[in-house]
Amino acid sequence: MSIVAAGPGAAAAEAAEATRRRRRGYGRYAGVKVLGALGSLLFMLVVNFFLFRVLPGDPARTLGRGRLSTPEQLAEFKKTYGLDEPVLQQFVTYLGNLLHGDLGYSILFHKNVSEVLLERFWPTLLLVGTSTVLAAAIGVWLGIRAGWDRASPLDRFTTGGSLTLYSMPEWWLGLLLIAAFAVGIGPLPGIFPTGGLHSVDVDPASVQGVLDTAWHLTLPVITLTLAYLADYALIMRGSLIDELRSDYLTTARAKGLRDVKVRDRHAVPNALLPTTTVVALNFGFVVAGAITIETIFSIPGLGLLTTDALAVPDYWLLQGVFMLSSAAVIAANLGANLLYGWLDPRVRT
């Protein structure tokens, strides 16, 4: 804001002071939120540590279940992972390892957990990111139209459809889509692949490969988009309805603005606020959101990794996935809070 240097008058000085105060207000707000997020993160690490080590019985048995039969093996395992040390010492070691990016060793892949996680992150981001963007766009569009024209056929359709989608396990919807469009019903052949990220014989980096990947991702993206859509449509509809009675809309109408203008210029920007936060928040669920969908469509992302780790069970890997997904949500939550505080100064109390 260059107003500060613009005028030497008292009014300008006052404006500058107001700006400074506003900024300081945001700084304090942001500081509190960052501290809160750090607290959550630390608490998550503590829970994560104790969940796998202290809960029932012997941690060595939990972590290496079914693989350690003789007492010698057990002792060896304990020594390798430092499980024979006092708990506090273990916790300090655990934190130190985390800082170095060491999340343990996956017995399923014979690799470091952090390496496995990094490899599996991109397919998930592609799948969930695309679906989130699509769902947000369509959902907001539907929500605006449904909320503005309540009890219209479109509103009935949106509300009814959203509630039904909301009541549906998203993976079951995915199974139905696979059965209908990948396997085919009766005489109708399937048109989409039943799973996988791309065909084996195509180079994913080529143009053909990109198209092939898009073709493979069509059904899963449709499934996830439908699953997320309901949330956005209902929230957008609700927050628009909350704005409907506002005085500023009456003013806008009294000025003679057309209905569409009143909606798009005045009501929607205000009603978008909660939806923006929810979208930002949901990006945190990128990791957690696709567990079942990736499993049924065999997409080699973090979700499929979770179910694979579950089947072994590979505790180090599970722990890593849990930690990554929680951290992502905490980060997204912080992002959503900071965004909301920036957009709406009223919440910075």
Partner 1 sequence: MSTTPVPALTARQLARRRRRAAFTHSWRRFRRSRTGTAGLLVLAFFVLVALCAPLLAPAEGLQVTQATGGVLEPPSREFWLGTDANGRSVLTLLIWGARISLFVGLMATLISMLIGTLIGLTSGYFGGWVGAVLFRLTEWFLVIPFLPLAIVLATVLGRSLVNIVIVIGVTSWPGTALLIRSQVLSIKERPYVERARALGAGHRHLIGRHLLPNVVPIVFANTTLTVAIAILSETTLSFLGLGDPTRVSWGSMLDEAYSVGAITTGSWWYFVPPGVCVVLVVLSFTLVGQALEEVLNPKLRER
Instruction: In angstroms, give the least distance from the CB of 256 to partner 1.
Output: 27
* Number of chain residues interacting with partner 1 (CB under 8 A): 52
Sorted by sequence, the CB contacts under 8 Å of residue 224 that are 6+ apart come out as 127, 128, 131, 135, 170, 289, 290, 293
Helix (H), strand (E) at residue 285:
none
CB 325 within 8 A of CB 301: no
By the rule CB under 8 A, 296 interacts with partner 1: yes
Q: Which of residues 30, 62, 115, 348 is near partner 1 by CB under 8 A? A: 62
Does residue 105 sit in helix, strand or coil?
Answer: strand
Whole-number minimum distance, CB 255 to partner 1, in Å? Answer: 26
3-state secondary structure (DSSP) of residue 329:
helix
HSE-CB for 274 with a 13 A CA cutoff: 16
Asked whether position 222 contacts partner 1 by CB under 8 A, the answer is: no
Question: Which 32-51 positions form the footprint of partner 1 (CB under 8 A)?
Answer: 36, 39-40, 43-44, 51
Q: Which 3 state secondary structure label does DSSP give 195?
A: coil
Under the binding rule (CB under 8 A), the answer on residue 239 touching partner 1 is no
Is 45 or 273 the residue whose CB approaches partner 1 more closely?
45
- Give the one residue of 26, 52, 77, 122 binding partner 1; rule: CB under 8 A: 52
- Confirm or reject binding of residue 114 to partner 1 (CB under 8 A): no
Closest CA to 297 of 218, 242, 227: 218
- What is the smallest separation between the CB atom of 128 and partner 1, expressed in angstroms? 12
Contacts of 227 (CB under 8 A, 6+ apart): 131, 135, 165, 168, 170, 173, 293
d(CA 319, CA 306): 10
Cα within 13 Å of Cα(273), Cβ side: 17
Query: For partner 1, which residue of 291, 304, 305, 317 counts as binding (CB under 8 A)?
Result: 291
Minimum Å gap between C-beta 169 and partner 1 is: 5
| Selected binder of partner 1 within 223, 297, 333, 341 (CB under 8 A) | 333
- The residue from 169, 189, 204, 269 that contacts partner 1 (CB under 8 A) is 169
Q: How far is the CB of 167 from partner 1 (least distance, A)?
A: 4
Residue count (the chain): 349
Name the DSSP letter for residue 262: I
């994560």: which residue's tokens?
Answer: 48
Residue from 125, 215, 285, 338 in contact with partner 1 (CB under 8 A): 285
Tell me the CA distances in angstroms from 270 to 246, 276, 295, one per residue in order. 11, 11, 39
**Is 7 or 189 the residue whose CB approaches partner 1 more closely?**
189
The nearer residue to partner 1, 18 or 51, going by C-beta atoms, is 51
Using the rule CB under 8 A, which residue among 92, 185, 214, 343 binds partner 1?
A: 185
For residue 347, give the 3-state DSSP assignment.
Answer: helix
Asked if 82 contacts 93 with a C-beta cutoff of 8 angstroms, the reply is yes
* Binding residue (CB under 8 A) for partner 1 from 38, 307, 342, 347: 307
Distance between CA atoms of 267 and 339, rounded to whole angstroms?
20
Give residues in contact with partner 1 (CB under 8 A).
Answer: 36, 39-40, 43-44, 51-52, 55-56, 62, 163-164, 166-169, 171-172, 175-176, 178-179, 183-185, 194, 238, 241, 284-285, 287-289, 291-292, 295-296, 306-307, 310-311, 313, 315, 318-319, 321-322, 325-326, 329-330, 333
